[in-house]
């Protein structure tokens, strides 16, 4: 039912697009429309341009064929646009007015409609409530259902601080409570931008598409000059070519097939990216993805999960594993950071009983950047600390304690594995280390191997030390890595690659990734990331899956291949039309031209009509290929050229010969 409605709407739009003000944007099809108007006038006023040697039925037939040629071209574009509008309508259904709990400066909560919210407003959102607008979590932690936006059913954790604090209007809070600072005024939200982009109202042609349009327009102009000057030569030879036949010749000479499908190919390419849950800000980004040579990937949250989780407890000195677990639990019970929660989770998984009464009466020591430690001062006077190894060592020395010799060895061993060590100490004694591991996302190595087969180099940028970076790089399977990388270093790497004549893609999710995302030819931001990253990028992955860049690259290459394939086919099938229509025009006055009628078409008029009908019919037959795209398989440029010439070049010559001959036989049979 949905496809039927889509086709019905596309048929109506194809008629609306006959407006000359719309058609002039496609010069090739505009020429065909002008030809339709002229032949239509000649059908009823044959004397308007002098005596005509052709029957009125021929003029009417030619005008109808030209009309359908234009309609088929409009239908292809309208169908591609219709898919985008259908996706936009489904997004609009998720957009609804929500009552927001706005926190005022006096501490009171006022209920306002989401359309009344302004940038900077603070809203409180509790379990079961919709997020009223785009914003950033400034307090609390909650599980959020983003399926209305991303289509992903699994909820995601949003928390204050870090790179996972961005929330999108229209999503649902399914647990806990958060305070959110609104970052967008009404009409400027991410969902509004998605709707606008998916509708494609402001779709601009890419440089490649503009270059091809220029070539096709130039060919059209050249053939127009040829056709306009042709009567002067035929008059010299002693015969006259009627205007309808000249128009038919022009329409068959100009590249109408690719001219009719060019816009549809570009729109369909953007739609295919959207179907993979990637929002492209422009067709240029999709096209550029097809020519990418290098991909720069941020490590945290992109290649790895981002939150370092406790995976092992390593006692040092005379401490026992049970003692380390006990003190690690005490230091983490009141620690609401992801690392602190992961310690408690690991202990519970190992069957360790945790009694929260142990911390009663104690003073919580929160983590601070200056101390790089957190912990608790117990009611019995004992002090428990957990934090960076060097910070804990200094603290223990101040308490008059000593440092176990194996602490340095175990710390180095954890760093070599790509992990982060947290030391646990009580009073003047170090009990051991908590091994925090940043896990590489599943399937990354296989996906990077796919990119390698495409001839694309992968490069990981991370702020980690060289030992950790090397371990993660090896586990993930990237080609190169840059350790201790600052935001400006990422930009320098991208600029260096671009200076070598390469196109660069960048994936990231943090505010520190924003400058590099903006500098890259293709910037793919994770939807789970910060608003700054999404603003800087020209693509947003709604699923927050960095390996999605492979699909984006494939679609970009598919778009370029489809355009090249159909251009090859369009130019090649003109050859068959030349052999059909050129002999038909001249053989009445020059009998020797009959030898060029290699298809043995029945008559000059049937030859002209057969070529025109084939020229019109081939457009709707190629619409599925333009919409779906040519199947992409990794191969070098020489193989690709050979494939294009063999399948679409040779096929573009053979198919019209067969098609025009069959149409000629049908015309001869019925007339």
| Least confident interval from 14-18, 585-589, 630-634 | 585-589
For residue 583, what are its two tokens? 């002999």
Question: Is CATH 3.40.50.1000 the classification given to domain 278-303+441-542?
Answer: yes
| pLDDT recorded at residue 489 | 83
Task: Of 150-159, 229-238, 336-345, 604-613, give the lowest mean pLDDT range.
Answer: 150-159
**What are the beta bridge partners of residue 112?**
100
Given a cut of 60, is residue 585 above it in pLDDT?
Answer: yes
- Can you tell me the mean pLDDT for 253-281? 79
pLDDT in tens, 421-466: 889 998 889 999 988 877 777 778 888 888 888 788 989 887 777 8
CA distance to 70, 309, 483, per residue, from 383 (Å): 82, 24, 36
Asked whether the predicted pLDDT for residue 149 surpasses 80, the reply is: no
The percent of residues in the chain predicted with pLDDT above 90, rounded, is 3
- Residue 585 has which token pair? 């025009």
Q: Which residues contact 446 (CB under 8 A, 6 or more apart)?
A: 477
635 assigned to a ligand binding site: no
Alpha helices by DSSP H, listed for 238-378, are 243-253, 256-275, 283-289, 321-332, 338-349
Q: So what's the pLDDT on residue 85?
A: 61
Average pLDDT, integer, range 125-141:
84
Contact 197, 280 (CB under 8 A): yes
Model confidence over 36-45: pLDDT tens digits? 998 888 888 7
Please indicate if the annotation marks 285 as binding a ligand: no
- Is 368 assigned a ligand-binding role in the annotation? yes
Task: Tell me: is residue 339 an annotated ligand-binding position.
Answer: yes
Tens of pLDDT, residues 508-552: 777 667 788 888 888 888 876 666 677 778 888 877 777 777 788
Q: Which residue has the higher pLDDT, 657 or 533?
A: 657
Q: Residue 524 pairs with which residues in a beta bridge?
A: 507, 539
Residue 279 above 70 pLDDT? yes
d(CA 602, CA 667): 9
Question: Which residues make Cβ contacts (< 8 Å) with residue 499, sequence separation at least 6?
Answer: none
497 pLDDT exceeds 70? yes
Residue 563 near residue 627, CB atoms below 8 Å: no
298 is a catalytic site residue: yes
Count of beta carbons in the 10 Å neighbourhood of residue 310: 23
| Per-residue tokens: 52 | 């005509």
pLDDT of residue 33: 92
Count, residues in the chain: 671
Tokens of 545: 């899956």
- pTM here is 0.63
pLDDT at 358: 66
Average pLDDT for the chain? 80
Residue 93 pLDDT > 70: no
What pLDDT was estimated at residue 349? 82
CATH topology of domain 99-197: 2.70.150
Q: How many CA atoms lie within 13 A of 123 on its CB side?
A: 30
Give the CATH architecture of domain 307-439. Answer: 3-Layer(aba) Sandwich (3.40)
Q: Which of 121, 134, 163, 298 is catalytic?
A: 298
Q: How confident is the model at residue 639 (pLDDT cuts 50, 70, 90)?
A: confident
Residue 492, annotated as binding a ligand: no
Mean pLDDT of 245-266: 84
For residue 193, the model assigns a pLDDT of 60
Higher pLDDT, 152 or 14: 14
Q: Is the pLDDT of residue 569 over 80?
A: yes
Please state the rounded mean pLDDT for residues 151-156: 56
Confidence bin at 71 (pLDDT 50/70/90):
very high
With 0-12 / 13-18 / 19 or more C-beta atoms within 10 angstroms meaning exposed / middle / buried, residue 575 is middle
pLDDT at 365 > cutoff 70: yes
Query: Between 339 and 662, whose confidence is greater?
Result: 662
Return the residue matching tokens 């159909």: 566
Residue 463's pLDDT is: 72
Domain positions in the chain:
1-87+198-273+554-668, 99-197, 278-303+441-542, 307-439
What is the spatial distance between Cα 586 and Cα 237, in angstroms, rounded to a whole number? Answer: 10
Does 335 belong to an annotated binding site? yes
Whether pLDDT at 207 is above 70 = no
Please give the average per-residue pLDDT across 341-357, as a whole number: 77
Q: What are the backbone angles phi and psi of residue 176, rounded to the nearest 5°?
A: 65, -165
Asked which of 202-211, 245-254, 478-487, 642-651 is least confident by mean pLDDT, the reply is: 202-211
Helix axes 256-275, 27-44, angle to 10 degrees: 130
pLDDT at position 151 is 45
Find out whether 537 and 525 touch, Cβ atoms under 8 Å. Answer: yes
Judge whether 373 is annotated as a binding position. Answer: yes
Per-residue model confidence (pLDDT) at position 34: 92
Tell me: is residue 367 an annotated ligand-binding position.
Answer: yes
Q: Is the pLDDT of residue 322 over 50?
A: yes
Give the integer Cα–Cα distance in Å for 170 and 147: 10
Q: Is 587 annotated as a binding residue?
A: no
| 148 band by pLDDT with thresholds 50, 70 and 90 | low
**Which tokens in the block code for residue 488?**
């400006």
CA pair distance 170, 151, nearest whole angstrom: 12
Residue 56 contacts by C-beta under 8 Å, 6 or more apart in sequence?
43, 46
pLDDT of residue 67: 92
Residue 201: per-residue pLDDT: 39
Better-predicted residue by pLDDT, 592 or 10:
10
Range of weakest confidence among 52-66, 154-168, 311-325, 618-632 = 154-168
């Amino acid at each position: 039912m949905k496809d039927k409605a889509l086709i019905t709407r596309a048929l109506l739009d194809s008629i609306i697009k006959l407006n000359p003000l719309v058609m002039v944007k496609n010069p090739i099809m505009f020429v065909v429309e002008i030809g339709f108007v002229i032949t239509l006038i000649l059908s009823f006023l044959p004397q308007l341009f002098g005596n005509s040697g052709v029957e009125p039925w021929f003029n009417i037939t030619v005008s109808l064929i030209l009309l359908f040629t234009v309609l088929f071209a409009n239908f292809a574009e309208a169908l591609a646009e219709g898919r985008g509008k259908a996706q936009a309508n489904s997004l609009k259904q998720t957009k609804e007015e929500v009552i927001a709990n706005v926190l005022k400066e006096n501490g009171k909560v006022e209920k306002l409609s989401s359309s009344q919210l302004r940038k900077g407003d603070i809203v409180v959102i509790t379990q079961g409530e919709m997020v009223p607008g785009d914003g950033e979590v400034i307090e609390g932690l909650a599980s959020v259902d983003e399926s209305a936006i991303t289509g992903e059913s699994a909820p995601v954790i949003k928390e204050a601080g870090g790179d996972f604090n961005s929330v999108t209007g229209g999503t649902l809070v399914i647990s806990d409570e958060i305070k959110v600072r609104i970052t967008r005024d009404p009409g400027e939200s991410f969902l509004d931008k998605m709707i606008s982009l998916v509708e494609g109202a402001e779709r601009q042609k890419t440089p490649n598409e503009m270059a091809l349009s220029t070539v096709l327009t130039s060919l059209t102009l050249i053939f127009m000059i040829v056709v306009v000057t042709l009567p002067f030569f035929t008059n010299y030879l002693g015969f006259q070519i009627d205007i309808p036949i000249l128009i038919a010749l022009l329409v068959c000479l100009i590249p109408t097939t690719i001219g009719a499908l060019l816009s549809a190919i570009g729109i369909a390419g953007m739609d295919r990216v959207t179907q993979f849950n990637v929002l492209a800000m422009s067709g240029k980004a999709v096209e550029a993805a097809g020519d990418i040579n290098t991909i720069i990937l941020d490590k945290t949250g992109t290649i790895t999960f981002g939150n370092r989780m406790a995976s092992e407890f390593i006692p040092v000195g005379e401490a026992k594993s049970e003692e380390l677990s006990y003190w690690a639990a005490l230091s983490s019970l009141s620690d609401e950071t992801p690392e602190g929660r992961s310690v408690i989770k690991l202990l519970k998984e190992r069957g360790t009983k945790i009694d929260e009464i142990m911390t009663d009466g104690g003073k919580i020591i929160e983590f601070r950047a200056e101390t790089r430690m957190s912990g608790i001062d117990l009611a019995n006077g004992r002090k428990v600390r957990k934090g960076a190894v060097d910070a804990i060592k200094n603290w223990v020395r101040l308490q008059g304690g000593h440092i176990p010799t194996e602490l340095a060895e175990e710390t180095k061993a954890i760093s070599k594995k790509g992990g982060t060590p947290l030391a646990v100490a009580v009073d003047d004694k170090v009990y051991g280390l908590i091994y925090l591991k940043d896990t590489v996302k599943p399937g990354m190595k296989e996906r990077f191997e796919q990119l390698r087969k495409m001839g694309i180099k992968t490069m990981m940028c991370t702020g980690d030390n060289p030992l950790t970076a090397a371990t993660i790089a090896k586990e993930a399977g990237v080609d190169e890595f840059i350790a201790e990388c600052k935001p400006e270093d990422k930009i320098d790497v991208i600029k260096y690659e671009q200076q070598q004549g390469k196109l660069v893609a960048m994936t990231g999710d943090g505010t520190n990734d924003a400058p590099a995302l903006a500098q890259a030819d293709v910037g793919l931001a994770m939807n789970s990331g910060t608003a700054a990253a999404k603003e800087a990028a020209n693509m947003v992955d709604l699923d927050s899956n960095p390996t999605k860049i492979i699909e984006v690259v494939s679609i970009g290459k598919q778009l370029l291949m489809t355009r090249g394939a159909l251009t090859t086919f369009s130019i090649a099938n003109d050859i068959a039309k030349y052999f059909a229509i050129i002999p038909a025009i001249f053989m009445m006055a020059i009998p020797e031209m009959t030898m060029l009628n290699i298809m043995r078409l029945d008559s000059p008029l049937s030859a002209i009509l057969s070529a025109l009908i084939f020229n019109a019919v081939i457009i709707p037959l190629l619409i599925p290929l333009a919409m779906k795209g040519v199947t992409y398989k990794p191969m070098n440029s020489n193989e690709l050229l050979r494939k294009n010439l063999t399948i679409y070049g040779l096929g573009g010559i053979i198919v019209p010969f067969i098609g025009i001959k069959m149409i000629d036989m049908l015309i001869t049979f019925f007339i």
